[in-house]
Amino acid sequence: MSRAVLAGLVLVFAFMTASRNRVYASAEALWGDTIARRPQNARAQTNVATPLLRSRRYSEAEQHLRIAVREQPDLAEAQADLGVALCGRGALDEGIEHLQRAIAIEPTYAAAHHDVAEAYASRGELGKAAMHYSAVLDLDPDNVLLLNRTAWILATADDKGTRRGARAVELAERAVRLTRRQDATSLDTLAAADAETDRFDEAVANGRAALDLARAGGDGALAAELERRLALYRRREKFRQ
């Protein structure tokens, strides 16, 4: 989702008169005034929807975004944001369709890839989710959250065709390096990837390190999960979602 809307307005605001600044005390007021005068302005409709999405007012955002995509179907941001609004209120099929349209318009649209990956993951379509997470990683290779999410799917998915153990190890090792072995989640992911590739000694070592961090941080719920997984690795068994 393009959540940095209006950043470019800073320079414009600098040249506004004091009176205009008072009228447009917020970006929301500015775009609201624009669509009141020009309701067919797709960009304005999209920008009005942005704070609504942030506030999870999905149905209100959807109303503006449907106008935006009707008036300018090739506006990738509007297609993606409509997809997010629809997914947010549970209409996953239609939401994914609009997110995919945004990606077709702008193949390197990282936010759209991320959002459609989340939508697929929520439906249990982990192979498709991993594909789109990987597309974001191509653009943002040091994103620890995405490294972990992608590696976790590739290491633990029930579907054999989705699992890619060696790739999972590669991504998880990167996350562990970036976090200097001080992130329990990254170590947990690496342990699962190690187990998937039959490196059970490494899985036990990394799982134990993750458990130690969770305990030191007072995260009892995570520690309990890690203990269960560590027991699997000690029995030379792999973890499956």
- Please report how many Cα atoms fall inside a 13 Å half-sphere around the Cα of residue 40, on the Cβ side: 1
Residues 140 and 66: their CA atoms lie apart, in Å, by: 30
CATH number of the structural domain 1-123: 1.25.40.10
Q: Is the fold of 1-123 the same as that of 142-241?
A: yes
- Are 1 and 84 within 8 A, CB to CB? yes
Distances (CA, A) of 179 to 114, 170, 183, 196: 22, 14, 6, 22
| 15 — pLDDT class (breaks 50, 70, 90) | very low
Which of 7-21, 61-75, 112-126 shows the lowest per-residue confidence on average (mean pLDDT)?
7-21
Is pLDDT at 18 greater than 60 in this prediction?
no
Q: What is the pLDDT of residues 66-82, one digit of tens each?
A: 999 999 999 999 999 99
| 14 — pLDDT class (breaks 50, 70, 90) | very low
Could you please report the per-residue DSSP string of 105-159? H-TT-HHHHHHHHHHHHHTT-HHHHHHHHHHHHHH-TT-HHHHHHHHHHHHH-SS
Is pLDDT at 179 greater than 90 in this prediction?
yes
| 36 — pLDDT class (breaks 50, 70, 90) | low
Mean pLDDT of 33-41: 72
Domain 142-241 has CATH 1.25.40: yes
Q: Where are the domains of the chain?
A: 1-123, 142-241
- CA dihedral angle for residue 202, residue 188, residue 164, residue 146, rounded to 10 degrees: -140
**What is the average pLDDT score of the chain?**
89
Mean pLDDT of 13-29: 45
Distances (CA, A) of 25 to 10, 19, 30: 13, 10, 8
- Are 79 and 66 within 8 A, CB to CB? no
Percent of the chain with pLDDT over 90: 83
